[in-house]
Amino acid sequence: MVKLTVKQQRFADEYIRLGEITQAAVNAGYNPKSAYKTGSENLRKPLIESYINRSMEKLKKEYLAEQDEVL
């Protein structure tokens, strides 16, 4: 099974947290001069896209569960 590199996973986690490509790439350790380009390329990679989608779905379910508990 192919896995994300540490840097790719860090980028994806930062992108989920921030919702901003350039800063997520810089925070993940990519070169600030090419951060937007690298981040954009990362978002088009199926493995990273899949990781982000799964993580976002998990966060959404947790958020909805918390709302239900409040009610």
Whole-number Å distance between alpha carbons of 64 and 20: 24
Residue 1 scores a pLDDT above 60? no
**Domain range 6-70, CATH architecture:** Orthogonal Bundle (1.10)
Q: What is the per-residue pLDDT for 8? A: 96
Q: What is the per-residue pLDDT for 69? A: 62
User: What length is written for the chain?
Assistant: 71
pLDDT tens-digit readout, 25-71: 999 999 999 999 999 999 999 999 999 999 999 988 877 766 656 65
pLDDT tens-digit readout, 45-57: 999 999 999 999 9
Whole-number Å distance between alpha carbons of 64 and 71: 11
Q: What is the per-residue pLDDT for 63? A: 74
Residue ranges of domains in the chain: 6-70
Whole-number Å distance between alpha carbons of 59 and 63: 6
